[in-house]
């Protein structure tokens, strides 16, 4: 009704339909505690903002990093960043999105004006909230309140709520026929992993790859390596239950470091004769980051850090690992320019260029979010 109303009535009067919405949200009041399902108030979108009804949201390890302190953010907070939904209303000046559009929120925005957005090599828009961790909208305020308290946003998205507000630069309009309960994964996990292989590393046909960590993002790296034509894809995880799915999606070999007495990078060098062409760390652990670097070919190997690094931890490594020619790279959101690329990735999914279904292990009602995180933490 709001959308129809806005079509018929001049803009100043259409503001009448932009009211505070009361809805359910999973609020994280403090670290290392369960989510609390609360009634929250979601303010109307301000100028250049969009309010979205969230239809489906994925659980990502990055959300859990906030709970455990591995990723420092202010509390109380509404987490969640991998989602899809339908636009409920828009603020003044929004031109690219209208009520009723199917959309995916973007934790890496694309303002189109900063140095990263303007450079063909960049994708980490300066308007992102990953580094600063302010937990607020770009204007320095929040759109969420609960029990009279202001609730922080999470990296510009906050999708563990029935309604959220994002900046216009942090939302992408997608195909109206797309199944939101599947393409929500393009909001983070799939795009991050798949892009790390095809966009950041630019894996070549016939190459050898190693992937450390076989969660949803790691499995998406496997898919990206296969799509790029890698001839050997070695999946590495301490949970052997992950291996069947990895092979289903393209892994040629599976390695459990617990099965060996020697360091895993030595195992991989022996398996390949000279080390892998490309390695990917998709865990967020400093030990596996250095192991992934060490396992790639000493002169032209490329290692990509995909997992979020833990807060306040440093890496100590032998600089000879880089002096001999290896390349060490990072990848945020798979290197994609978000607003441009997400609609294209959804279109590719609709054309069956890749699958998302194998990445979805469970579907739960929103109120069982704590059970979902238990499944994540137990590797299920």
Chunked in runs of 10, what are the mean pLDDT values of the chain (380 residues)? Answer: 46 60 98 97 98 97 92 96 98 96 98 96 94 90 97 97 98 98 98 98 98 97 98 98 97 98 97 97 95 98 93 88 97 98 98 96 96 94
The catalytic residue among 62, 89, 303, 341 is 62
Instruction: Specify the DSSP class assigned to residue 358.
Output: G
Tell me, what's the pLDDT at 170?
Answer: 98
**Is there a contact between 129 and 169 (Cβ–Cβ < 8 Å)?**
no
Establish whether 60 is a catalytic residue. yes
**The pLDDT value given to residue 6:** 46
Whether 62 sits among the annotated catalytic residues: the reply is yes
Q: Output the pLDDT for position 131.
A: 81
Residue 23 DSSP SS3: strand
Structural domains in the chain, sorted by start: 21-189+336-378 (3.90.180.10), 201-330 (3.40.50.720)
pLDDT of residue 13: 42
Cα angle 364, 83, 76 (rounded to 5 degrees) comes to 85
Residue 168, classed as helix, strand or coil, is: helix
Q: Which one from 60, 125, 225, 295 is the annotated catalytic residue?
A: 60
**pLDDT for the residue 17:** 58
Q: pTM of the predicted model, to two decimals?
A: 0.93
Among candidate residues 81, 153, 167, 265, the one labeled active-site is 81
Q: Is 98 exposed, middle or buried (0-12, 13-18, 19+ CB in 10 A)?
A: middle
End-to-end CA distance of the chain, in Å?
A: 41
Q: Are 254 and 364 in contact (CB under 8 A)?
A: no
Q: Are 52 and 87 contacting, i.e. CB atoms less than 8 angstroms apart?
A: yes
Which position among 111, 184, 188, 225 bears the catalytic label? Answer: 188
Burial category of 263 from C-beta neighbours within 10 Å (exposed 0-12, middle 13-18, buried 19 and up): middle
Residues with Cβ within 8 Å of residue 261, at least 6 apart in sequence: none
* Catalytic annotation present for 48: no
The β-bridge relationship of strands 232-236 and 208-212 is: parallel
152 counts as catalytic: no
Going 162 to 167 to 173 to 174, the CA torsion angle's sign is negative
Catalytic (active site) residue 167: no
């Amino acid at each position: 009704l709001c959308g129809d109303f806005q079509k018929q009535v001049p803009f100043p009067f259409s503001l009448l339909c932009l009211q505070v919405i009361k809805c359910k949200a999973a609020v994280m009041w403090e670290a290392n505690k369960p989510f609390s399902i609360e009634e929250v108030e979601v303010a109307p979108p301000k100028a250049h903002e969009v309010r979205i009804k969230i239809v489906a949201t994925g659980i990502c390890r990055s959300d859990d990093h906030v709970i455990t302190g591995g990723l420092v953010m202010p509390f109380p907070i509404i987490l969640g960043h991998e989602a899809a939904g339908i636009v409920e209303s828009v603020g003044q000046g929004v031109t690219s999105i209208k009520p009723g559009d199917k959309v995916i929120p973007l934790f890496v925005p694309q303002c189109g004006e900063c140095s990263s957005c303007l450079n063909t090599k960049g994708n980490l828009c300066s308007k992102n909230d990953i580094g600063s961790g302010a937990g607020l909208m770009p204007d320095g305020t929040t759109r969420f309140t609960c029990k009279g308290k202001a609730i922080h946003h999470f990296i510009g998205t906050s999708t563990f709520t029935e309604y959220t507000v994002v900046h216009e630069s942090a939302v992408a309009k997608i195909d109206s026929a797309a199944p939101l309960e599947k393409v929500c994964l393009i909001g983070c996990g799939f795009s991050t992993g798949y892009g790390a292989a095809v966009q950041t590393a630019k894996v070549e046909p016939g190459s050898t790859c190693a992937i450390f960590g076989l969660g949803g993002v790691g499995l998406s790296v496997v898919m990206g390596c296969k799509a790029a034509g890698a001839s050997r894809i070695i999946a590495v995880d301490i949970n052997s239950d992950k291996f069947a799915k990895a092979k289903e999606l393209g892994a040629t070999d599976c390695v459990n470091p617990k099965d060996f007495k020697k360091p895993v990078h030595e195992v991989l060098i022996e398996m390949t004769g000279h080390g892998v062409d490309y390695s990917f760390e998709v865990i967020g652990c400093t030990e596996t980051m250095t192991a992934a670097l060490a396992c790639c070919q000493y002169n032209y190997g490329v290692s990509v850090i995909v997992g979020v690094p833990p807060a306040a931890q440093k890496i100590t490594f032998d600089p000879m690992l880089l002096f001999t020619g290896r390349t060490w790279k990072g990848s945020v959101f798979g290197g994609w320019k978000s607003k441009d690329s997400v609609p294209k990735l959804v279109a590719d999914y609709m054309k069956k260029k890749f699958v998302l279904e194998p990445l979805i292990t469970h579907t739960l009602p929103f109120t069982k979010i704590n059970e979902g995180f238990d499944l994540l933490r137990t590797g299920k």
